[in-house]
Amino acid sequence: MSATVPGDAGASSVPAGAGASTHSTESSIVSDLAPDLPVLLPGTATLGVMGGGQLARMFAHSAQQLGFRVAVLDPDATSPAGSIAHEHVRSAYLDAAGLARLADMAQAITTEFENVPAAALSQLAERRPVAPGAAAVAVCQDRAAEKAHFVACGVPCAPHAVITNAVDLAAVPDALLPGILKTARLGYDGKGQQRVANRAELAAAWQALGEVQCVLEARLALAGELSVIVARGRDGATVHLPVQHNLHRDGILAVTTVPAPNTSDVLQTQAVDAATRIATRLGYVGVMCVEFFVLADGSLVANEMAPRPHNSGHYSIDACDVSQFDLQVRAMAGLPLTAPRLHSSAVMLNLLGDLWFAAGDLVDGKAMATEPDWAQVLALPGAHLHLYGKAEARPGRKMGHLTLTAATPQQARETALRAVALLGLPAF
């Protein structure tokens, strides 16, 4: 077992404003994509993506707008991205024949979620440029490795311990309780984690999680949550979206607000600098999101990172001149990464499947899904509705998002509050 209480992140050298760009000075980690790879020009190539969910769907929209063809590998015949891609390879993520077909079709390949097996990305990389690479994705897939990476970057994270066996469990420091026990792998959106108040609850939770490797994090007094989305090119150049303020409910993102309210320039600079160092030390190529906690004392700690575009960056489609998906396309194709500019204040609302069951209608005693009244919502100024093309609404399932844009943060918030009232969502 290892227990860690990281130190300070150190001084920042990255401007806090939206879209500021920097070239990293670190050279100890070398990208697995050479900077002199041929640039894939719009209209001349096919871009491949592992996974066919909503992130791949929005990636495909951006790629197709530039004139690229898109090939998706996903086992689901009705996947949101597969339904709009030029090519849909229906196979398991580790199926050798399916991977070969994708490599035959695409000149560069990316991933839409971190749980695509790193081994599949390694196999693809033998034939095609893959961004992000398997080694970087593998770190993001494992919370223990992720925490170790934060520490190596000098980025503070929650005090924590890695629990692999019963000896580790018994050796957990008292200072980590109460805490949150999280599986090291395959946990997201609040899944694979349990709150524990004492050693008895910790032991029961570890058993309930299957006694797999876990990370126990001390529960911290939080003042807020932020995220930073950075894009890093083959040459090490980075750009970033504005710092985003996030509100989660039950471990799932509910609301993102940009510009981040009540967030100082100093704190934003620290967040951008930390996210940039995290990506740089990985030799990362592509789009990455790093989520942060703001503690009650005003300090910043890294929570987790995602090797892909992120739910909290969806507003960029409507509020920025370059979206996170545009950056994903550019990074994998070797095209210039221009600094995004925020042209509108925005509030993004996550639309979960619960919304479809809000009316409480029953058929034969079973809850019946009812489409929300989108006409009322679309009558609001600056309303941008994005539905993901999923065939069935289910509670907790991400069905879409709604972005409200306006000239000022106050106007965006007021319109968003009108939207949540219309939809029956909780105010924020």
Question: Tens digit of pLDDT for each residue in 247-264?
Answer: 999 889 999 999 999 999
Whether the full predicted model's pTM is greater than 0.85, yes or no, is: yes
CATH topology of domain 222-423: D-amino Acid Aminotransferase; Chain A, domain 1 (3.30.470)
Check if the beta carbon of residue 276 is closer than 8 Å to that of residue 22. yes
Q: What is the pLDDT of residue 34?
A: 66
Q: For the chain, 428 residues long, give each residue's pLDDT as a single digit of tens.
A: 445 433 333 333 323 334 433 333 333 444 557 667 899 999 999 999 999 999 999 999 999 999 999 999 999 999 999 999 999 999 999 999 999 999 999 999 999 988 889 899 999 999 999 999 999 999 999 999 999 999 999 999 999 999 999 999 999 999 999 999 999 987 666 678 899 999 999 999 999 999 999 999 999 999 999 999 999 999 999 999 999 999 999 889 999 999 999 999 999 999 999 999 999 999 999 999 999 999 999 999 999 999 999 999 999 999 999 999 999 999 999 999 999 999 999 999 999 999 999 877 776 778 888 999 999 999 999 999 999 999 899 999 999 999 999 999 999 999 999 999 999 999 99
Question: Tens digit of pLDDT for each residue in 273-305?
Answer: 999 999 999 999 999 999 999 999 999 999 999
Q: Which long-range contacts (CB under 8 A, 24 or more apart) does 91-100 make?
A: 93/50, 93/117, 93/120, 94/119, 94/120, 96/123, 98/73, 99/73, 99/123, 99/124
Task: Round to whole Å and give the CA distance between 303 and 189.
Answer: 13
Check if the beta carbon of residue 401 is closer than 8 Å to that of residue 351. yes
Pick the CATH number of 159-219 from 3.40.50.300, 2.60.40.10, 2.60.120.10, 3.30.1490.20: 3.30.1490.20
Q: Work out the number of other CB atoms within 10 angstroms of the CB of residue 68.
A: 24
CATH class of 39-130: alpha beta
Angstrom CA distances, 29 to 69, 118, 138, stand at 32, 19, 15
The domain limits of the chain are 39-130, 159-219, 222-423
Task: Round to whole Å and give the CA distance between 134 and 32.
Answer: 9
